[in-house]
Amino acid sequence: MSATVELDDVAVGYPGRVLWSGLDLVIEPGEFVAVLGGNGTGKTTMLKALLGLIPPRAGSIKVLGEAPSRGDRRVGYVPQHAAFNPDAPIRGVDLVRLGADGHRFGPRRVSTSIRDRVDASLAAVGAQQYATAPVGLLSGGEQQRLRIASAIVDDPALILADEPLLSLDLASQRQVADVLDARRRAVGAAVVVVTHDVNPVLRHVNRVVYLAAGRWAAGTPEEVLTSERLSTLYGLDVDVVRVRDNVVIVGAPDEATGPHHHGGS
Amino acid sequence: MFWTLLQQHFIHVSLLAAGVAALVAGSLSPLVIARGQAFSVHGIAELGLTGAAGGLLAGLDAATGALIGSVTVGALLGVLGLRERDRDAATGVVLAAGLGLGVLFLSRVNGYATTGFGLLFGSITSVSESQLRLLVIVAGIVMVLLVLVWRPLWFASVDSAAAEARGVPVRVLAVLFATMLGAAVAETIQVTGVLLILTLVVTPAAAATRLTARPAAVVALSIAAALLAAEGGVLASLEWNAPASFFVSMISFVVYVIARLVGAQRRGWRGPAHLSG
């Protein structure tokens, strides 16, 4: 099977500013990749490039063997979490349904196949119980599961998630990470998660891309998340400390995975 | 009095005009709520005033002028306010400048006070047959467009980042929606006037979302609430001597209050405990 994502000497940025460059990366089916780094290091931009929303400044990107194109049904995208307005006139099941046919123009035709896919997707994330409640009244973790359900309704071979654990409590972070992990195990999808904190997904991650100040380091968490490697990356003395199952990075100027507060928003 | 008036042709025209405007306003209302664009609606309406006064000066009628003004401003706001963060500021800037022009135009129109009052607070009973024809045609175009673009527009309105990644042309739809909103506002100005525009464009869906989150039901309830308020307002103004727009806004408000009370009871099963986190 060919690689899910191939980045060859890729640079991204905006006119007058390169965020990172020279990135070579191959993501195979079934891999769980965490993209780490501080604010403004170009984590989200990497997802945008994979989605075909922005072109790379240099190099070539291939997603499932082709140049990325907007609206590729084989790619599922979970956008950065923003809480729904409590009055938002939409239920979970509607949100998932939009993932299935929301891009189509013209009147909606009732189709049992779409309904089945929506149900399967809701079941995959364990959201059936609250699927008909107004989205705006659900907890952050429940909303996030529904966003994932909406993203995976077409059984994408690549799932891209932008800070899916942001502002969730610890238990919800774990559950949402497990949902993403279950998905790659069930259908062999590759998962790319952008996160400022690697710990909630550390158990599942088999590869890390660490972005810092225009440079990058990639490899297994054991290879990349070391004092030596990150000190080289940042050009500063950075200490990586392992406390129980957690990785704590001390001394990184952007505090990518540094000490911070957990808890609900 | 009521029954004799009800036989009059001009009342039939008024009721039809109010119904057409309410249909369009009630249909777009859920999208206005989902997109958080109540302020834009008010902005567009105030510039509808400029358009109407300008239209009268140029020898057109007020309805045509309001339509040209609102649609132009809607499209302009759609283009200027593409990024959500810019929207409030862009609306405010365009609004303030345009309304200034409106004051000048209005001051040059014969019967300044009456015309001004009619535009600000509505004059549904003075709608002519030719104006009604224009309202029906514009409403027809908006409704057909709305059916065609409903799903992607809805998707872009509730989750624009996901919609964009899915290939929905969110920017084009934002401009299209703002333009449609301009047309809807021009229609509604005939019923409620400029200042009470929100009573038919925002209140109906605000009430509907208290009762259900099922999108199709929200749209249906929103249209029903708008129709009830608009037609009820016109009918009530025949019986009691007060402007129709007063009754329209009061009926709309009462519907909203009832919806809130009923909705609060129904939402009880998922109380505030679920709002955290």
Q: How many residues belong to chain A?
A: 265
Model pLDDT, residue B77: 78
Residues in chain B with CB shorter than 8 Å from the CB of A135 are 213
- Give A95→chain B minimum CA distance, Å: 8
Do A80 and B161 make contact, defined as CB atoms within 8 angstroms?
yes
Q: Say what angle helices B170-192 and B244-266 make with each other, to 10 degrees.
A: 130
Which residues in chain A have Cβ-Cβ distances shorter than 8 Å to B274? 137-139
Residue tagged 């409903």 (tokens)? B150
Minimum mean pLDDT range among A2-6, A23-27, A230-234, B173-177: A230-234
Q: Which uninterrupted H or E stretch holds A33?
A: strand A32-37
Scanning every residue of chain B, which has its alpha carbon at the shortest distance from the alpha carbon of A80?
B161
Stronger pLDDT, A166 or B155, i.e. the higher one: B155
- pTM recorded for the entire structure: 0.86
Model pLDDT for residues B23-45, shown as the tens digit of each residue:
999 999 999 988 888 888 888 88
Instruction: Report residue A248 CA to chain centroid gap.
Output: 21
pLDDT recorded at residue B277? 34
- The pLDDT assigned to B154 comes to 92
Sign of the CA dihedral B78, B82, B84, B88? Answer: negative
pLDDT score for B276 = 36
pLDDT-derived band at A141, boundaries 50, 70, 90? confident
pLDDT at A207 over 60: yes
CB pairs under 8 A between A and B: 120
Å from A193 to nearest chain B CA?
15
Residues β-bridged to residue A25: A7
Mean pLDDT throughout A7-13?
A: 89
Q: What is the pLDDT of residue B220?
A: 96
**Cβ contacts of A136 on chain B, cutoff 8 Å:** 213
In which element (H, E) is residue B159 found?
none
Confidence check: pLDDT of A175 > 60:
yes
CB A53 to CB B164 under 8 A?
yes
B127-146: b or e for each residue (b if 16 or more CB lie within 10 Å)?
Answer: beeebbebbeebbeebbebb
A79–B165 CB contact, under 8 Å: yes
Q: What region does A213 belong to: left with phi over 0, alpha with psi -120 to 50, or beta?
A: left
The backbone torsions φ and ψ at residue A24, rounded to the nearest 5 degrees and listed phi first, read: -110, 130
Chain B: give the shortest CA distance to residue A256, in Å. 23
For residue A88, which residues of chain B lie inside 8 Å, CB to CB?
34, 158, 209, 213
Q: 3-state secondary structure string, A175-219?
A: HHHHHHHHHHHHHCCEEEEECCCCHHHCCCCCEEEEEECCEEEEE
Query: In the prediction, which pLDDT does A96 show?
Result: 92
Instruction: Specify the residue for token string 């703002």.
Output: B178
Phi and psi at B64, nearest 5°, equal -65, -45
The Cα angle at residue A81 between residues A77 and A86, in degrees rounded to 5: 120
Hey, of B146, B150, B166, B168, which one would you mutate to test binding to chain A, going by the most A CBs within 10 A of its CB?
A: B166
Q: Going edge to edge, which strands form the sheet with A17-27?
A: A17-27, A5-14, A58-63
d(CA B242, CA B239): 9
pLDDT recorded at residue B274: 42
Q: What is the pLDDT of residues A101-115, one digit of tens each?
A: 888 888 877 788 888
**pLDDT over 90 for what percent of chain A?**
18
Q: Which of A144, A122, A117 is nearest to A132 (CA)?
A: A122
Tokens of B155: 């998707």
- Residue B268 has a pLDDT of 53
Cα dist from B91 to A48, A90, B67, B94, whole Å: 29, 27, 18, 5
Q: How far apart are CA A100 and CA A89, in angstroms?
A: 18
- Spans of chain B below 70 pLDDT: 1, 81-87, 112, 266-277
Average pLDDT of chain A is 84
pLDDT 10s digits, B97-149 = 888 888 888 888 777 677 777 788 888 878 888 888 888 999 999 999 999 99
Average pLDDT over residues A89-105: 89
Closest Cβ–Cβ partner in B34, B165, B206 for A77: B165
**pLDDT digit string, tens, across residues A57-72:** 988 999 998 888 888 8
Asked if B152 and A105 come within 8 Å (Cβ–Cβ), the reply is yes
At B81 the pLDDT is 66
**Looking at residue A1, what is its pLDDT?**
55
Quote the pLDDT of residue A262: 41
Residue identified by tokens 């000490």 is A259
Pairing outcome for strands A58-63 and A5-14? antiparallel
Per the model's pLDDT, the better-predicted residue between A136 and B85 turns out to be: A136
- Report helix, strand or coil for B185: helix
- Chain B residue numbers touching A77 (CB-CB < 8 A): 161-162, 165-166
Report residue B259 as tokens.
């919806």
Paired strand residues for A211: A37, A216
